[in-house]
Structure 1
């Protein structure tokens, strides 16, 4: 089934749209609060389609992701009981928040770097940092560093790989897409207990 090939073509059309930087900025902002789709899904094709703007796109993604993180922090800090906790309970994310609190206890501020750079859901940690009243300035600085490293790495790989990488990606996109789906389902089944 060639589902991911069609999706890739659609994403590449969006990547060259004149409003793509605005969409990237909005996606980066909301992804740090609640949005489940990683920014990389939009950033990578944009950097690949217009490599001369790759660093600008990485900068936008970093800036708006950290602004979203600040908003998430403020939600956890000021609106936990009336707004965030009911949402968490409705979505069944209580275990994720408890795990995030445990990670904060184990690793302190470094958990923000880990969550901001890796595929771990950053949004859980932005809200939890506010809930736990983590020192705000280190939260922002570490978020800038982690998110910046991640998004500049993604853009850099797209610039470096260029057309060769795109050809390979198109060749294997459906296999890679289905492998990601299988990995996500397996991770969900392993982590839901």
Structure 2
């Protein structure tokens, strides 16, 4: 079954719980970012602030799983999943930015799951990683949620 359809069904059938699951799994393994679902969910009636909070909690929790997997499984599994190119670029990125790198990856379209795994591989403290994730992800998800809500208001949905 198509991952997109699975994610869409999670939102339609389970609302906030579905959004939590999408944000949680995206943070460490699955490729579909939660942004589209946050937009859709808030456009079709879910509260934008609650959407952003739920997605952020899911992402921080899933990021912790990614951090743990990176720490425990290390470089060989990371290379198999994401490629050596991301490991080399990630190391340069983390050396240069540290916790700010997590914040940047959390807010930007950079692949967040890669940052989560790399934070574990490079043994970033989980508290620092979680703070960077929270500060990066919440504003992003809040903007996306209110964008969805604004679209719905504009078009009278």
**TM category, shorter:** 0.7 to 0.9
C-alpha distance in 2 between matches for 1:118 and 1:22: 24
Q: How does 1:18-167 map to 2 (within 5 A)?
A: 18-51=13-46, 53-80=47-74, 85-86=76-77, 88-91=78-81, 93-164=83-154
SS at match of 1:50: coil
User: Where in structure 2 are there 5+ consecutive unaligned residues?
Assistant: none
> What TM-score, normalized to structure 1?
0.71
User: Where in structure 1 are there 5+ consecutive unaligned residues?
Assistant: 1-6, 168-193
Q: Is contact 1:15–1:46 with CA below 8 Å preserved after alignment?
A: no
C-alpha distance in 1 between matches for 2:133 and 2:153: 31
Q: Is contact 1:15–1:45 with CA below 8 Å preserved after alignment?
A: no
Q: Is contact 1:117–1:149 with CA below 8 Å preserved after alignment?
A: yes
Higher radius of gyration, 1 or 2: 1
Count residues in correspondence: 153
> What TM-score, normalized to structure 2?
0.86
- CA pair 134-96 structure 1, distance change in 2 beyond 3 A: same
